[in-house]
């Protein structure tokens, strides 16, 4: 005799909207952290050394080199959050129209 066991893939414990909400919250948190770093760097000279994690590697840079990339990251996160909000409004309207 032999037994064949067929396993179902595990069910997701979160609904899609809950998972999307978690991603949104993480993005907002990431934005806040970037803003805090920018505020800390604002008072420093551009020639001062600082370190940045790039792909899991700690890299030495200057404040002047890091500021533009942090600002760019903030802007990209803001665009992502704006797109998320726009898509959520569209989906909410679709749900209301469907009902």
Q: What is the pLDDT along the chain (99 residues), one digit of tens a residue?
A: 444 555 555 555 556 667 778 888 999 999 999 999 999 999 999 999 998 888 889 999 999 999 999 999 999 999 999 999 998 889 888 888 877
Given a contact cutoff of 8 angstroms between Cβ atoms, the answer to whether 27 and 80 are in contact is: yes
**How many other CB atoms are found less than 10 A from the CB of residue 77?**
19
pTM of the model: 0.72
Both tokens of residue 50? 């600082």
| CA distance linking residue 19 with residue 3, whole number of Å | 37
Give the orientation angle of helix 16-42 with respect to helix 63-98, to 10 degrees: 150
């Amino acid at each position: 005799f032999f037994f064949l066991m067929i396993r179902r893939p595990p069910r997701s414990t979160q609904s899609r909207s809950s998972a999307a909400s978690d991603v949104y919250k993480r993005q907002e948190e990431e934005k806040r952290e970037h803003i805090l770093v920018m505020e800390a760097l604002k008072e420093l000279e551009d020639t001062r050394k600082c370190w940045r994690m790039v792909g899991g590697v700690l890299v030495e840079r200057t404040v002047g080199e890091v500021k533009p990339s942090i600002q760019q990251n903030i802007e990209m996160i803001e665009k992502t959050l704006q797109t998320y909000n726009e898509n959520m409004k569209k989906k909410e309207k679709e749900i209301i129209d469907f009902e």
